[in-house]
Amino acid sequence: MDNMNFLKKILERSGKLFEKGRPLSWAHPIWEATDTILFSTDKQTDSGPHIRDNMDIKRTMFFVVIALIPCYLFGAYNIGYLNDMATTDVSRSMFGNFIFGMSYVLPILIITFVSGAICELTFSVIRRHEVNEGFLVTCALIPLTLPPLVPLWQVFIGTAFGIIIGKEIFGGVGTNIFNPALTARAFMYFAFPTRMSGEKIWAVLPDGNTGATALAIPANSPKNIASDLFSEASNVAPNYFDFSLWKMCWGLIPGSIGETNKILILLGAIFLVYVGIASWRTMVASVSGLFFTAFLFNILAGFSTNAMLTITPLQHLLIGSFLFGTVFMATEPVTSAHTNKGKWIYGFMIGVLTVIIRSVNPAYPEGVMLAILIMNMFAPLIDYYVVKSNIKMRIARNA
Protein backbone atom coordinates (compact mmCIF):
# COMPACT_ATOMS: atom_id res chain seq x y z
CA MET A 1 0.00 0.00 0.00
CA ASP A 2 2.96 2.27 0.67
CA ASN A 3 4.03 1.91 -2.92
CA MET A 4 0.56 2.97 -3.97
CA ASN A 5 0.70 6.08 -1.85
CA PHE A 6 4.12 6.85 -3.25
CA LEU A 7 2.78 6.55 -6.79
CA LYS A 8 -0.22 8.68 -5.89
CA LYS A 9 2.06 11.37 -4.51
CA ILE A 10 4.24 11.35 -7.61
CA LEU A 11 1.13 11.79 -9.73
CA GLU A 12 -0.18 14.59 -7.56
CA ARG A 13 3.11 16.45 -7.64
CA SER A 14 3.73 15.95 -11.33
CA GLY A 15 0.16 17.01 -11.94
CA LYS A 16 1.02 20.53 -10.85
CA LEU A 17 3.38 20.82 -13.82
CA PHE A 18 0.42 20.33 -16.14
CA GLU A 19 -1.82 22.95 -14.56
CA LYS A 20 -2.86 26.10 -16.36
CA GLY A 21 -0.01 28.55 -16.82
CA ARG A 22 2.65 25.95 -16.11
CA PRO A 23 5.20 24.87 -18.72
CA LEU A 24 3.53 21.55 -19.50
CA SER A 25 -0.05 22.77 -19.49
CA TRP A 26 -0.42 21.86 -23.17
CA ALA A 27 -0.05 18.21 -22.26
CA HIS A 28 -2.73 18.27 -19.56
CA PRO A 29 -5.07 15.86 -21.39
CA ILE A 30 -2.30 13.29 -21.56
CA TRP A 31 -1.54 13.67 -17.89
CA GLU A 32 -5.25 13.45 -17.01
CA ALA A 33 -5.55 10.24 -18.97
CA THR A 34 -2.55 8.65 -17.28
CA ASP A 35 -3.63 9.83 -13.85
CA THR A 36 -7.17 8.50 -14.09
CA ILE A 37 -6.11 5.21 -15.65
CA LEU A 38 -3.84 4.56 -12.67
CA PHE A 39 -6.16 5.82 -9.94
CA SER A 40 -9.89 6.47 -10.16
CA THR A 41 -10.63 10.17 -10.10
CA ASP A 42 -11.43 11.91 -6.81
CA LYS A 43 -13.57 14.44 -8.62
CA GLN A 44 -16.50 15.54 -6.47
CA THR A 45 -20.08 15.94 -7.58
CA ASP A 46 -20.65 19.67 -7.75
CA SER A 47 -23.67 20.25 -9.91
CA GLY A 48 -26.62 17.95 -10.33
CA PRO A 49 -27.09 14.90 -8.17
CA HIS A 50 -24.81 14.59 -5.17
CA ILE A 51 -24.37 10.87 -5.75
CA ARG A 52 -23.46 9.08 -8.94
CA ASP A 53 -23.49 5.60 -10.38
CA ASN A 54 -20.15 3.78 -10.44
CA MET A 55 -20.25 3.23 -14.19
CA ASP A 56 -18.11 5.55 -16.26
CA ILE A 57 -16.87 5.74 -19.84
CA LYS A 58 -13.56 4.07 -18.95
CA ARG A 59 -15.34 0.98 -17.73
CA THR A 60 -17.84 1.08 -20.59
CA MET A 61 -15.08 1.03 -23.17
CA PHE A 62 -13.07 -1.49 -21.19
CA PHE A 63 -16.04 -3.87 -21.31
CA VAL A 64 -16.22 -3.67 -25.09
CA VAL A 65 -12.53 -4.52 -25.24
CA ILE A 66 -13.11 -7.51 -22.92
CA ALA A 67 -15.85 -8.73 -25.25
CA LEU A 68 -13.34 -8.64 -28.10
CA ILE A 69 -10.55 -10.57 -26.39
CA PRO A 70 -11.93 -14.07 -27.18
CA CYS A 71 -12.10 -13.09 -30.85
CA TYR A 72 -8.42 -12.15 -30.72
CA LEU A 73 -7.41 -15.40 -29.06
CA PHE A 74 -9.38 -17.51 -31.49
CA GLY A 75 -8.28 -15.44 -34.47
CA ALA A 76 -4.64 -16.08 -33.64
CA TYR A 77 -5.28 -19.79 -33.14
CA ASN A 78 -7.18 -19.97 -36.44
CA ILE A 79 -4.26 -18.50 -38.38
CA GLY A 80 -1.96 -21.16 -36.96
CA TYR A 81 -4.51 -23.93 -37.45
CA LEU A 82 -5.16 -23.13 -41.11
CA ASN A 83 -1.45 -22.88 -41.79
CA ASP A 84 -0.84 -26.17 -40.03
CA MET A 85 -3.56 -27.89 -42.02
CA ALA A 86 -2.41 -26.65 -45.40
CA THR A 87 1.26 -27.26 -44.80
CA THR A 88 2.12 -30.92 -45.17
CA ASP A 89 5.52 -30.93 -43.47
CA VAL A 90 4.52 -28.96 -40.37
CA SER A 91 2.57 -30.17 -37.39
CA ARG A 92 2.10 -27.91 -34.36
CA SER A 93 0.33 -28.26 -31.05
CA MET A 94 -2.72 -26.12 -30.30
CA PHE A 95 -0.53 -23.70 -28.39
CA GLY A 96 1.97 -23.71 -31.21
CA ASN A 97 -0.77 -22.72 -33.61
CA PHE A 98 -1.75 -19.91 -31.29
CA ILE A 99 1.79 -18.60 -31.06
CA PHE A 100 2.18 -18.83 -34.82
CA GLY A 101 -1.00 -16.81 -35.28
CA MET A 102 -0.01 -14.31 -32.63
CA SER A 103 3.16 -13.55 -34.57
CA TYR A 104 0.84 -12.13 -37.21
CA VAL A 105 -1.85 -10.59 -35.00
CA LEU A 106 0.37 -8.89 -32.44
CA PRO A 107 2.29 -6.64 -34.88
CA ILE A 108 -1.00 -5.50 -36.43
CA LEU A 109 -2.43 -4.83 -33.00
CA ILE A 110 0.61 -2.88 -31.84
CA ILE A 111 0.76 -0.78 -34.99
CA THR A 112 -2.95 0.00 -34.69
CA PHE A 113 -2.59 1.18 -31.12
CA VAL A 114 0.53 3.22 -31.83
CA SER A 115 -1.12 4.95 -34.75
CA GLY A 116 -4.40 5.42 -32.86
CA ALA A 117 -2.69 6.78 -29.74
CA ILE A 118 -0.62 9.25 -31.73
CA CYS A 119 -3.73 10.63 -33.46
CA GLU A 120 -5.93 10.71 -30.36
CA LEU A 121 -3.29 12.30 -28.11
CA THR A 122 -2.29 14.85 -30.73
CA PHE A 123 -5.87 15.90 -31.23
CA SER A 124 -6.66 16.05 -27.53
CA VAL A 125 -3.63 18.28 -27.00
CA ILE A 126 -4.47 20.58 -29.93
CA ARG A 127 -8.18 20.65 -29.23
CA ARG A 128 -7.71 20.70 -25.44
CA HIS A 129 -10.30 18.00 -24.90
CA GLU A 130 -9.83 15.00 -22.63
CA VAL A 131 -8.45 11.80 -24.10
CA ASN A 132 -11.51 9.76 -24.92
CA GLU A 133 -11.28 6.10 -24.06
CA GLY A 134 -13.35 5.35 -27.14
CA PHE A 135 -10.22 5.27 -29.27
CA LEU A 136 -9.14 2.12 -27.41
CA VAL A 137 -12.24 0.36 -28.69
CA THR A 138 -11.67 1.67 -32.20
CA CYS A 139 -8.09 0.40 -32.11
CA ALA A 140 -9.16 -2.94 -30.66
CA LEU A 141 -11.73 -3.39 -33.44
CA ILE A 142 -9.59 -2.52 -36.44
CA PRO A 143 -7.19 -5.53 -36.41
CA LEU A 144 -10.10 -7.95 -36.08
CA THR A 145 -11.53 -6.71 -39.36
CA LEU A 146 -8.29 -7.14 -41.28
CA PRO A 147 -6.81 -10.11 -43.14
CA PRO A 148 -3.78 -11.58 -41.36
CA LEU A 149 -1.45 -10.75 -44.22
CA VAL A 150 -2.18 -7.03 -44.36
CA PRO A 151 0.99 -4.88 -44.66
CA LEU A 152 1.70 -3.03 -41.43
CA TRP A 153 2.24 0.36 -43.03
CA GLN A 154 -1.27 0.11 -44.43
CA VAL A 155 -2.56 -0.63 -40.95
CA PHE A 156 -0.83 2.47 -39.66
CA ILE A 157 -2.28 4.74 -42.34
CA GLY A 158 -5.69 3.12 -42.20
CA THR A 159 -6.00 3.56 -38.45
CA ALA A 160 -4.90 7.17 -38.66
CA PHE A 161 -7.48 7.77 -41.38
CA GLY A 162 -10.21 6.13 -39.32
CA ILE A 163 -9.49 8.20 -36.22
CA ILE A 164 -8.87 11.52 -37.95
CA ILE A 165 -11.37 11.46 -40.82
CA GLY A 166 -13.84 9.12 -39.16
CA LYS A 167 -13.94 10.88 -35.84
CA GLU A 168 -11.81 13.91 -35.08
CA ILE A 169 -12.77 16.14 -37.99
CA PHE A 170 -16.40 15.76 -36.92
CA GLY A 171 -15.48 17.03 -33.45
CA GLY A 172 -14.39 13.85 -31.71
CA VAL A 173 -16.32 11.18 -29.84
CA GLY A 174 -20.01 11.88 -29.56
CA THR A 175 -20.33 13.92 -32.72
CA ASN A 176 -18.92 11.58 -35.35
CA ILE A 177 -21.18 10.24 -38.08
CA PHE A 178 -19.30 7.14 -39.20
CA ASN A 179 -17.95 4.32 -37.12
CA PRO A 180 -14.20 5.13 -36.99
CA ALA A 181 -13.09 1.49 -37.09
CA LEU A 182 -15.21 0.81 -40.15
CA THR A 183 -14.06 4.03 -41.75
CA ALA A 184 -10.51 2.74 -41.37
CA ARG A 185 -11.49 -0.63 -42.80
CA ALA A 186 -13.32 0.92 -45.74
CA PHE A 187 -10.45 3.28 -46.46
CA MET A 188 -7.99 0.42 -46.55
CA TYR A 189 -10.28 -1.67 -48.73
CA PHE A 190 -10.60 1.01 -51.36
CA ALA A 191 -7.10 2.48 -51.07
CA PHE A 192 -5.18 -0.80 -51.11
CA PRO A 193 -7.51 -3.18 -52.97
CA THR A 194 -4.78 -5.59 -53.95
CA ARG A 195 -3.88 -6.29 -50.35
CA MET A 196 -7.40 -6.22 -48.96
CA SER A 197 -9.24 -8.56 -51.29
CA GLY A 198 -8.59 -11.68 -53.32
CA GLU A 199 -7.86 -15.24 -52.36
CA LYS A 200 -4.35 -15.02 -50.98
CA ILE A 201 -4.65 -12.87 -47.91
CA TRP A 202 -7.27 -14.49 -45.65
CA ALA A 203 -5.03 -17.20 -44.30
CA VAL A 204 -1.31 -17.69 -43.95
CA LEU A 205 -0.75 -20.48 -46.45
CA PRO A 206 2.23 -21.98 -48.26
CA ASP A 207 2.92 -20.83 -51.81
CA GLY A 208 0.50 -22.12 -54.39
CA ASN A 209 -2.39 -22.56 -51.94
CA THR A 210 -5.33 -20.21 -51.95
CA GLY A 211 -7.72 -19.48 -49.14
CA ALA A 212 -10.90 -18.07 -50.50
CA THR A 213 -13.41 -16.91 -47.94
CA ALA A 214 -16.78 -18.59 -47.79
CA LEU A 215 -18.38 -15.57 -49.43
CA ALA A 216 -16.11 -15.76 -52.46
CA ILE A 217 -17.17 -19.30 -53.31
CA PRO A 218 -20.70 -18.64 -54.60
CA ALA A 219 -19.71 -15.17 -55.79
CA ASN A 220 -17.35 -16.63 -58.35
CA SER A 221 -19.55 -19.47 -59.59
CA PRO A 222 -22.79 -18.42 -61.18
CA LYS A 223 -25.52 -20.84 -62.24
CA ASN A 224 -25.15 -23.02 -59.17
CA ILE A 225 -26.76 -23.60 -55.81
CA ALA A 226 -24.70 -22.11 -52.99
CA SER A 227 -25.09 -25.12 -50.71
CA ASP A 228 -23.68 -27.41 -53.39
CA LEU A 229 -20.79 -25.04 -53.93
CA PHE A 230 -19.98 -25.04 -50.24
CA SER A 231 -19.91 -28.85 -50.11
CA GLU A 232 -17.83 -28.99 -53.29
CA ALA A 233 -15.32 -26.52 -51.91
CA SER A 234 -15.04 -28.38 -48.63
CA ASN A 235 -12.25 -30.87 -48.06
CA VAL A 236 -10.65 -30.21 -51.42
CA ALA A 237 -6.90 -30.66 -51.72
CA PRO A 238 -4.61 -29.05 -50.86
CA ASN A 239 -6.38 -26.99 -48.16
CA TYR A 240 -9.18 -29.20 -46.81
CA PHE A 241 -11.15 -26.23 -45.49
CA ASP A 242 -14.54 -27.32 -44.28
CA PHE A 243 -17.41 -25.02 -45.30
CA SER A 244 -20.16 -26.99 -43.60
CA LEU A 245 -22.53 -24.84 -41.52
CA TRP A 246 -21.20 -26.13 -38.26
CA LYS A 247 -17.55 -25.50 -39.17
CA MET A 248 -18.37 -22.02 -40.42
CA CYS A 249 -20.01 -21.40 -37.10
CA TRP A 250 -16.85 -22.58 -35.35
CA GLY A 251 -14.78 -20.42 -37.62
CA LEU A 252 -11.90 -22.65 -38.68
CA ILE A 253 -12.02 -21.11 -42.16
CA PRO A 254 -10.17 -18.28 -43.87
CA GLY A 255 -11.39 -14.79 -43.11
CA SER A 256 -10.61 -11.56 -41.29
CA ILE A 257 -8.81 -12.14 -38.02
CA GLY A 258 -11.70 -11.73 -35.63
CA GLU A 259 -14.84 -12.55 -37.53
CA THR A 260 -14.69 -16.27 -38.19
CA ASN A 261 -15.85 -17.76 -34.89
CA LYS A 262 -19.55 -16.91 -34.57
CA ILE A 263 -19.96 -18.57 -31.19
CA LEU A 264 -17.44 -16.25 -29.53
CA ILE A 265 -19.05 -13.26 -31.23
CA LEU A 266 -22.40 -14.38 -29.86
CA LEU A 267 -20.86 -14.68 -26.39
CA GLY A 268 -19.55 -11.14 -26.77
CA ALA A 269 -23.01 -10.00 -27.79
CA ILE A 270 -24.64 -11.63 -24.78
CA PHE A 271 -22.04 -10.06 -22.51
CA LEU A 272 -22.49 -6.56 -23.94
CA VAL A 273 -26.28 -6.77 -23.79
CA TYR A 274 -26.15 -8.11 -20.24
CA VAL A 275 -23.90 -5.31 -19.04
CA GLY A 276 -26.20 -2.83 -20.75
CA ILE A 277 -23.79 -1.32 -23.27
CA ALA A 278 -24.87 -2.67 -26.65
CA SER A 279 -28.42 -2.53 -27.89
CA TRP A 280 -30.16 -5.86 -28.41
CA ARG A 281 -32.69 -4.05 -30.55
CA THR A 282 -30.09 -3.23 -33.19
CA MET A 283 -28.78 -6.80 -33.19
CA VAL A 284 -32.18 -8.48 -33.38
CA ALA A 285 -33.38 -6.05 -36.04
CA SER A 286 -30.26 -6.55 -38.10
CA VAL A 287 -30.50 -10.35 -38.06
CA SER A 288 -34.22 -10.09 -38.91
CA GLY A 289 -33.40 -7.87 -41.87
CA LEU A 290 -30.82 -10.36 -43.06
CA PHE A 291 -33.20 -13.32 -42.74
CA PHE A 292 -36.02 -11.46 -44.42
CA THR A 293 -33.99 -10.39 -47.44
CA ALA A 294 -32.13 -13.68 -47.80
CA PHE A 295 -35.45 -15.53 -47.74
CA LEU A 296 -36.86 -13.18 -50.35
CA PHE A 297 -33.82 -13.70 -52.57
CA ASN A 298 -34.11 -17.48 -52.19
CA ILE A 299 -37.58 -17.21 -53.70
CA LEU A 300 -36.29 -15.02 -56.52
CA ALA A 301 -33.26 -17.26 -57.16
CA GLY A 302 -35.11 -19.34 -59.76
CA PHE A 303 -35.32 -16.32 -62.02
CA SER A 304 -31.60 -15.65 -61.99
CA THR A 305 -28.28 -17.33 -62.59
CA ASN A 306 -26.70 -15.59 -59.60
CA ALA A 307 -25.59 -18.26 -57.14
CA MET A 308 -25.50 -15.67 -54.34
CA LEU A 309 -29.29 -15.58 -54.39
CA THR A 310 -29.41 -19.23 -53.35
CA ILE A 311 -27.56 -18.69 -50.07
CA THR A 312 -29.94 -19.62 -47.31
CA PRO A 313 -30.64 -17.16 -44.48
CA LEU A 314 -28.69 -19.28 -42.01
CA GLN A 315 -25.71 -19.44 -44.35
CA HIS A 316 -25.85 -15.68 -44.77
CA LEU A 317 -25.73 -15.33 -41.02
CA LEU A 318 -22.69 -17.57 -40.66
CA ILE A 319 -20.55 -16.57 -43.61
CA GLY A 320 -18.52 -13.41 -43.77
CA SER A 321 -18.34 -10.69 -41.13
CA PHE A 322 -22.03 -10.02 -40.80
CA LEU A 323 -22.34 -11.17 -37.20
CA PHE A 324 -19.15 -9.41 -36.14
CA GLY A 325 -20.30 -6.19 -37.76
CA THR A 326 -23.77 -6.42 -36.26
CA VAL A 327 -22.59 -7.09 -32.74
CA PHE A 328 -19.59 -4.81 -32.47
CA MET A 329 -19.94 -2.17 -35.18
CA ALA A 330 -23.64 -1.57 -35.79
CA THR A 331 -24.33 -1.20 -32.07
CA GLU A 332 -21.71 1.51 -31.60
CA PRO A 333 -23.87 3.99 -29.67
CA VAL A 334 -22.73 7.28 -31.20
CA THR A 335 -23.07 6.38 -34.86
CA SER A 336 -26.13 4.15 -34.54
CA ALA A 337 -29.65 5.51 -34.36
CA HIS A 338 -30.26 6.92 -30.88
CA THR A 339 -33.96 6.33 -30.45
CA ASN A 340 -35.24 2.85 -29.65
CA LYS A 341 -37.69 2.90 -32.55
CA GLY A 342 -34.92 4.19 -34.79
CA LYS A 343 -32.68 1.30 -33.77
CA TRP A 344 -35.21 -1.20 -35.15
CA ILE A 345 -35.24 0.51 -38.53
CA TYR A 346 -31.49 1.12 -38.53
CA GLY A 347 -30.67 -2.48 -37.65
CA PHE A 348 -33.20 -3.98 -40.04
CA MET A 349 -31.84 -1.96 -42.92
CA ILE A 350 -28.28 -3.08 -42.14
CA GLY A 351 -29.42 -6.68 -42.55
CA VAL A 352 -31.28 -5.87 -45.75
CA LEU A 353 -28.41 -3.93 -47.28
CA THR A 354 -25.86 -6.57 -46.34
CA VAL A 355 -27.68 -9.23 -48.35
CA ILE A 356 -28.37 -6.88 -51.23
CA ILE A 357 -24.74 -5.80 -51.52
CA ARG A 358 -23.49 -9.36 -51.15
CA SER A 359 -25.89 -10.83 -53.68
CA VAL A 360 -26.62 -8.25 -56.30
CA ASN A 361 -23.01 -7.27 -56.85
CA PRO A 362 -20.99 -10.48 -56.51
CA ALA A 363 -17.81 -8.60 -57.40
CA TYR A 364 -18.05 -7.14 -53.95
CA PRO A 365 -18.97 -10.07 -51.75
CA GLU A 366 -18.71 -8.62 -48.22
CA GLY A 367 -21.63 -6.27 -47.74
CA VAL A 368 -21.84 -5.67 -44.02
CA MET A 369 -19.13 -3.01 -43.90
CA LEU A 370 -20.80 -0.81 -46.50
CA ALA A 371 -24.23 -1.61 -45.11
CA ILE A 372 -23.27 -0.29 -41.69
CA LEU A 373 -21.51 2.78 -43.09
CA ILE A 374 -24.53 3.59 -45.26
CA MET A 375 -26.87 3.20 -42.31
CA ASN A 376 -24.52 5.29 -40.12
CA MET A 377 -25.19 8.00 -42.65
CA PHE A 378 -28.94 7.50 -42.47
CA ALA A 379 -29.14 7.07 -38.68
CA PRO A 380 -29.65 10.81 -37.99
CA LEU A 381 -32.39 10.89 -40.63
CA ILE A 382 -34.14 7.89 -39.08
CA ASP A 383 -33.95 9.55 -35.66
CA TYR A 384 -35.24 12.76 -37.17
CA TYR A 385 -38.41 11.07 -38.39
CA VAL A 386 -38.90 9.10 -35.18
CA VAL A 387 -38.58 12.28 -33.13
CA LYS A 388 -40.75 14.12 -35.63
CA SER A 389 -43.67 11.84 -34.81
CA ASN A 390 -43.28 12.76 -31.15
CA ILE A 391 -43.18 16.44 -32.11
CA LYS A 392 -46.26 16.07 -34.29
CA MET A 393 -48.14 14.45 -31.44
CA ARG A 394 -47.21 17.40 -29.23
CA ILE A 395 -48.16 20.00 -31.82
CA ALA A 396 -51.51 18.29 -32.34
CA ARG A 397 -52.10 18.40 -28.58
CA ASN A 398 -51.20 22.07 -28.45
CA ALA A 399 -53.57 23.01 -31.23
Partner 1 sequence: MFKLKIKNGHNVNIAGNPDKKFLPTRHHSSVSLSPENFRYIKPKLLVKENDSIQLGDPVFFDKLNPDIKWPAIASGKISKIVYGDRRVIKEIIFEVNDDKEKSLQPNSPNGLSSKEGVINYLLEKNMWPFLKQRPFNKVANPSDNPKSIIISLANTAPLAINHHFTLSDQQEYIVSALKHLKELTDGKLFLIVRPGEFTYLSDLEYIDLVEIEGPHPAGNIGVVLNHIQPINNKDIIWTVEGHHLPILGKIFSDGIFDPSITINIAGPCVKKPSYIKTRLGCPVDIYCQDNLTRDDVRIISGNVLTGKEINLDGYTNFYDSSISIIEKSFERSFMGWLHPGGSSKYSIFNAYIGDNKKPYKFTTLQNGSERAFVPIGAWEKVFPMDIYINELARSIVANDVDEMEQLGIYECDEEDVALCSFVCPSKTDVGGIIRKGLDLIYFDG
Site for partner 1, rule CB under 8 A: 4, 8, 32, 36-45, 47-60, 62-63, 129-130, 132-134, 172-175, 274-279, 333-334, 338-340, 383, 386-387, 390-391, 394-395, 397-398
From residue 123, alpha-carbon distances to 35, 65, 131, 137, 160 in Å are 19, 22, 9, 17, 11
Nearer to partner 1, 334 or 355 (CB): 334
Closer residue to partner 1 in complex, CB, 48/208: 48
Contacts of 89 (CB under 8 A, 6+ apart): none
The DSSP call for residue 329 is I
How many angstroms separate the Cα of 111 from the Cα of each of 140, 166, 250? 11, 18, 28
Cis previous bond, 238, omega within 30: yes
Q: Which is nearer to partner 1, 45 or 88 (CB)?
A: 45
Closest distance of CB 160 from partner 1, Å: 20
Nearer to partner 1, 28 or 316 (CB): 28
Shortest separation between residue 148's beta carbon and partner 1, angstroms: 30
First-to-last alpha carbon distance for the chain, in angstroms, is 66
State the nearest-atom distance from the C-beta of 8 to partner 1, in Å: 7
For 276-367, where are the alpha helices, taking DSSP H only?
A: 280-300, 313-318, 322-324, 340-360
Cα(48)–Cα(215) distance, integer angstroms:
52
Work out the number of other CB atoms within 10 angstroms of the CB of residue 190.
Answer: 9
CB-nearer residue toward partner 1: 262 or 281: 281
> Whole-number minimum distance, CB 324 to partner 1, in Å?
19
Query: What is the rounded distance in angstroms from the CA atom of residue 298 to the CA atom of residue 294?
Result: 6
d(CA 327, CA 281): 11
**Nearest residue (CB) to partner 1, 175 versus 244:** 175
- Please report how close the Cβ of residue 338 comes to partner 1 at its closest, in angstroms: 5
Supply the minimum distance, in Å, between the C-beta of residue 129 and partner 1.
8
Q: Taking a C-beta distance cutoff of 8 angstroms, is the pair 298, 355 a contact?
A: no
Nearer to partner 1, 12 or 228 (CB): 12
For the CB of residue 20, give the shortest distance to partner 1 in the complex, in Å.
Answer: 17
Residue 25 Cβ, how far from partner 1 at the closest point, in Å?
A: 18
Q: Using the minimum distance from each CB to partner 1, give the nearer residue, 99 or 270.
A: 270
Helix 340-360 vs helix 368-398: angle between axes, to the nearest 10 degrees? 150
